[in-house]
Amino acid sequence: MIEVKNVSGGYHNAEILKDISFQVEKGELFGVIGPNGSGKTTLLKTVSRILDVKQGEITIKERPISDYTAKEFAQLVAVLPQNTAQTFSYTVKETVSLGRYAHQRGLFQTMSEKDEAMIQGVMKQTGVEGYQDVPIDSLSGGERQRVFLAQALAQDPEVLLLDEPTNHLDIAYQKELLDVLKIWTKEKDLTVISIFHDLNLAGLYCDRLLLLQDGKKEICDQANEVLKRERIQTVYGAEIEAHPHPKVAKTQMMLVPRFFGRQRNNIITKDLLKITEEKITLQTEAPLRTMSSGVTGAGVGWHNTFVNRHVDRNYHCTDHKNEMKNYLIDHGFHPNDTVGMMTAVRLSDVAHQFREGEGFSALIVVTAATGNAVDASMGQERTIPYKPGTINIWVLINGQLSEEAFIQSMMTATEAKTAAVKELGILDIETNTQATGTSTDSILIGASQQGKMLTYGGTATPLGQLVGKGVYQCMKKALENYFNWRNN
Amino acid sequence: MQKPSIRMFSKSNKVFPYIFLAVLAIFTVLLGTSIGTVYVPFSTIIHIITANIIPSVPADAIDSMYENIVWNIRLPRVLLSGLVGASLAISGAAFQGLLRNPLADPYTLGVSSGASVGAVITIFFGLTLPLLGPFTLPVFSILASFITIFIVLYFAQRIDRAMRVETIILTGVIFSSFLGALISLMIALTGDELRQIIGWLLGSVSMRGWDHIKIIIPFFLVGSILLTLHAKELNAMSFGEEQAKHLGVNVERKKMSILIAGSILTGAAVAVSGTIGFVGLVIPHFVRILWGPNHVHLLPLSAIAGGSFLILADLVSRMIIAPSELPIGVITALIGAPVFAVILIQRRKKLGGEKGS
């Protein structure tokens, strides 16, 4: 549809674009990104014929853009600029009607019925038909943006060029506008080229992205390929972390603020652990990045309070999550900041260890009992409703963990747990085979994300060794305590 | 900002403003012709006009003094002020739309001064081009106003690429002063033509006969028809030249046509009546408040309203210190300058937090 071949250009006294080439297919939503001053707007103005192409060629539908007359070009390409001058207060309808200019013929250029129908149609699509007789300067920024979008659509274009269309819009309007554009590209084969300031919006909605730097093409590819952490970090010169979107298979970029406060490598200490008959708690000064199963705060997040609560072995509640939440509130904890677990185990049987590695350290806390021991390999069908967890493992690390280190630490801790259970000869009562754990175990891996960078947590790594050994020893200690108590 | 309620009420009927202004125009023509040292009743005026236009209407019953006053003195003067007012108002409306600047008018842009220089040069050197004859003066005025608007816009753009309202006005003021100095210089160097130049400069429609109407009419028709044909383009361009381009307007060509048409109207008006300020500013402003900024209606309505306004202003200038006369430019400036100030204040308020553009 649109082909830009080795284009250089800019303003008459400054060449901004340098040798840019890319193609946009029909029905594509194509994003242009880049730091301030990288030439995004200049590129859009060159494609829309406001600025001249100095070298190279731009063709739309295999015809050089300079070959089109002004009206022909406006029938093909519409533009939604960032700002539009509003000196006089035209009504919404008068403003939208101007979009039909390119389609009108004759000396007096009167509006045909087709024009009128088109105008009403686009006003409906953009949701501005309700105030067609209202002067545009009495509208809000978002409404005005939609009026000019309606004007562009009234041109009935095949290509729509947008310069930061989500500027000045709140997030609901941003989503609404981009959703609509996406639908039009799919249903009406409209080709859209849009400049984005917001990399995450660009990544979410665009099929492909063009990344500009200093007027040159850095890369033009699939959104996920363009939005790579290292690339964005280099081009924009800002510290960034990439993260997958929770619902869509797209990458999102997260800014990392410069100031973190004091860097500390001893956020987690043994002294923070408070053990009573009723609950084991640990509160840290700064929140820990956590990956956990449990009753509250499960999944991935940041938490500064960790609670392992004793409940009766016959504890039964239909809404245990809510009950736990209320429990936390009653005891002065914030459920949002808390990873909460439950156990029927006697809390005085807890085993814990503070282990130090080279440049990092970990506090391991285990409560264990084997009343409902299970052999995971048997895949036996069981009909147990929620029962308070039996083996609860906390591994809290002073150090920076990568995502894979979190997962590997979890694997290592689980393997160590299983080894301890097997060594003590615990059987799955239903299958009468060696148990691997219990049916309601929970685990928490937490890390301060300060201090030493720990990229891997596999069993052969220093972190893995520390976690494996620590969990194994605590498991054995906790189970011994449990057996001692049961046997007495 | 304009109050939507006022617009709503009058929007429902697009014919009303035309009828209203047409009636007003006819009334002012009659009033302007009727009042003076000798009062002439409306009925007599209508009789004289019809008798002069339609040969079959008998002219016997008309007093020859009335006939002389109405047909040879007052009516041409009134019609000339009407045509000058219409020319200035419609070109003002067009300049404002083109430059997205509610303060632009031939006077504030310096175009009137340019036209004056053209006219003064013609008188000073006693120029009469063989082919043009009596049209030499207006043609030189038009050429001079055209050159002036280009120089003003070129300088404004050099100063400030965004061509802010204030920049253009300031450039216009500077050029007006400079051109005014040129005129003074020529007057100082003049001997015999001095009185002619001074009299012309004062800006007046007195002692102008049918000859002057014949001079201005062709330019008025060409200019105003050309502008009216560009109403849609003016609408598009009031959203900015880039936006107009996006909408499919051939901006360079249309802009040139509009500037030429505006210069023709201004130049011709100045040639017959001297510099009369603020008509092109005040009239479009009020028409816009009452009936909206759409140039399809704004241009013709401004022309009719501008004609009526200048006829009334001329009447006042004759009446106020009768039997002597004030220059008509004094009256328009007395009304126009405060309106200019009000628009400026409104704009400042409106821009408030926004970027000034």
Q: Which pLDDT tens digit goes with each residue over B154-175?
A: 888 888 776 676 787 888 888 9
**Cβ–Cβ below 8 Å for B247 and A99:** yes
A90 → chain B, closest CA residue: B293
Pairing mode, strands A442-447 and A392-398: parallel
List the domain boundaries for chain A.
2-255, 270-487
* Terminal Cα-to-Cα distance of chain A (whole angstroms): 83
**What is the predicted pLDDT for the residue at A86?**
77
A135 closest CB neighbour out of B2, B248, B350:
B2
Three-class SS of residue A60? strand
**What is the predicted pLDDT for the residue at A389?**
58
**Cβ–Cβ below 8 Å for A84 and B7:** no
**DSSP category for residue A130:** G
Report, as an integer, the average pLDDT of A126-135. 88
Lowest-confidence pick of A302-306, B40-44, B62-66: B62-66
Question: Does residue B15 belong to the interface with chain A, where contact is any CB pair within 8 Å?
Answer: no
Distance of CA A256 to the CA centre of its chain: 14
- The answer, yes or no, to whether the previous bond of A244 is cis (omega within 30 of 0) is no
Q: Is residue B123 part of a domain?
A: yes
Beta bridge partners of A9: A17, A53
> Minimal CA–CA distance to A275: which of A326, A319, A310, A243?
A310
Pairing mode, strands A14-24 and A437-438: unpaired
What average pLDDT does chain B have?
A: 84
**What is the predicted pLDDT for the residue at B350?**
66
What average pLDDT does chain A have?
A: 89
Question: Does residue B357 belong to the interface with chain A, where contact is any CB pair within 8 Å?
Answer: yes
Pairing mode, strands A159-163 and A63-64: unpaired
**Cβ–Cβ below 8 Å for B248 and A73:** yes
Q: How confident is the model at residue A110 (pLDDT cuts 50, 70, 90)?
A: low
Q: How confident is the model at residue B12 (pLDDT cuts 50, 70, 90)?
A: very low
CATH of residue B173's domain is: 1.10.3470.10
Residue B357 has pLDDT above 50, yes or no: no
Three-class SS of residue B83? helix
Residue A407 has pLDDT above 50, yes or no: yes
> Minimal CA–CA distance to B266: which of B164, B345, B152?
B152
Q: How confident is the model at residue A386 (pLDDT cuts 50, 70, 90)?
A: low
Which residues 6+ apart lie within 8 Å of A67 measured at CB? none
The domain of B300 spans 77-351
Question: Which residue reads 């941003």 in tokens?
Answer: A174
Helices (H) and strands (E) in chain A, counts: 12, 26
Q: How far apart are CA A60 and CA B93, in angstroms?
A: 38
Residue B257 has pLDDT above 60, yes or no: yes
Residue B6 has pLDDT above 50, yes or no: no
B249 closest CB neighbour out of A88, A101, A151:
A101
Beta bridge partners of A20: A7
When scoring B96, B237, B246 by the number of chain A Cβ atoms within 10 A, the one with the most, hence best to mutate, is B246
Report, as an integer, the average pLDDT of A420-449. 88
Residue A21 has pLDDT above 90, yes or no: yes
Distance of CA A337 to the CA centre of its chain: 20
Q: Is residue B57 part of a domain?
A: no
Which residues on chain B are in Cβ contact (under 8 Å) with A75? 248
Lowest-confidence pick of A398-412, A424-438, B226-240, B277-291: A424-438
Cα within 13 Å of Cα(A148), Cβ side: 28
Give the containing element (helix H, strand E) for B228.
Answer: helix B210-229
A2-255 has which CATH code? 3.40.50.300
For A53-68, b/e burial (b = at least 16 CB within 10 A) is beebebbbeeeebeeb
Q: How far apart are CA A27 and CA A193, in angstroms?
A: 10
Angle formed by the axes of helices B210-229 and B295-319, to 10°?
160
* pLDDT tens per residue across span A165-219: 888 788 888 888 899 899 999 998 999 999 999 999 999 999 999 999 999 999 9
Q: How far apart are CA B64 and CA B73, in angstroms?
A: 13
Residue B356 has pLDDT above 60, yes or no: no
**Cβ–Cβ below 8 Å for B245 and A90:** no
* % chain B with pLDDT above 90: 32
Query: Do residues B237 and B251 touch, judged by C-beta distance below 8 A?
Result: yes
B296 → chain A, closest CA residue: A108
Report, as an integer, the average pLDDT of B216-226. 94
Lowest-confidence pick of A77-81, A440-444, B7-11, B254-258: B7-11
A87 closest CB neighbour out of B232, B236, B238:
B238
* pLDDT tens per residue across span B51-106: 888 888 776 777 888 888 888 889 999 999 999 999 999 999 999 998 888 888 88
**What is the predicted pLDDT for the residue at B215?**
86
Vertex B262, ends B261 and B264: CA angle to 5°? 65
B234 → chain A, closest CA residue: A98
**Cβ–Cβ below 8 Å for B243 and A138:** no
Q: Is residue B52 part of a domain?
A: no
Q: How far apart are CA B357 and CA B339, in angstroms?
A: 21
Q: Residue A75: count other Cβ atoms within 10 Å of its Cβ.
A: 17
Number of separate domains in chain B: 1
Which residues 6+ apart lie within 8 Å of A466 measured at CB? A355, A357, A360, A362
Q: How far apart are CA A22 and CA A211, in angstroms?
A: 11
Residue A258 has pLDDT above 80, yes or no: no
**Cβ–Cβ below 8 Å for A81 and B243:** yes
**What is the predicted pLDDT for the residue at B231?**
93
Q: How confident is the model at residue A462 (pLDDT cuts 50, 70, 90)?
A: very high
**Cβ–Cβ below 8 Å for A74 and B248:** yes
Report, as an integer, the average pLDDT of B33-58. 86
Q: How confident is the model at residue A265 (pLDDT cuts 50, 70, 90)?
A: low
**What is the predicted pLDDT for the residue at B195?**
67
> Which one has a higher pLDDT value, A158 or A429?
A158
**What is the predicted pLDDT for the residue at A337?**
92
Distance of CA A244 to the CA centre of its chain: 5
Query: Do residues A312 and A345 touch, judged by C-beta distance below 8 A?
Result: no
Residue A319 has pLDDT above 50, yes or no: yes
CA dihedral B133, B135, B139, B145 (to 10 degrees): 140
Compute CA distances B254 → A139, B226, B227, B230, B257, whole Å.
30, 10, 10, 7, 5
Q: How far apart are CA A342 and CA A278, in angstroms?
A: 10
Question: Does residue B246 belong to the interface with chain A, where contact is any CB pair within 8 Å?
Answer: yes
* pLDDT tens per residue across span B296-341: 999 999 999 999 999 999 999 888 887 777 888 888 888 888 888 8
For A445-455, b/e burial (b = at least 16 CB within 10 A) is bbbbbbbbebe
Two tokens at B275? 């510099």
Quickly name the fold that domain A270-487 has.
L-amino peptidase D-ALA esterase/amidase (3.60.70)
Query: Do residues A67 and B212 touch, judged by C-beta distance below 8 A?
Result: no
> Minimal CA–CA distance to A475: which of A375, A395, A358?
A395
Give the containing element (helix H, strand E) for B116.
Answer: helix B111-124
Q: How far apart are CA A97 and CA A118, in angstroms?
A: 9
Two tokens at A207? 């099929």
Report, as an integer, the average pLDDT of B22-48. 91
Query: Do residues A110 and A104 touch, judged by C-beta distance below 8 A?
Result: yes
Residue B96, burial from CB neighbour count under 10 angstroms (0-12, 13-18, 19+): buried
* Total residues belonging to chain A: 488
Residue B9 has pLDDT above 50, yes or no: no
Which residues on chain A are in Cβ contact (under 8 Å) with B97? 88
Q: Is residue B72 part of a domain?
A: no
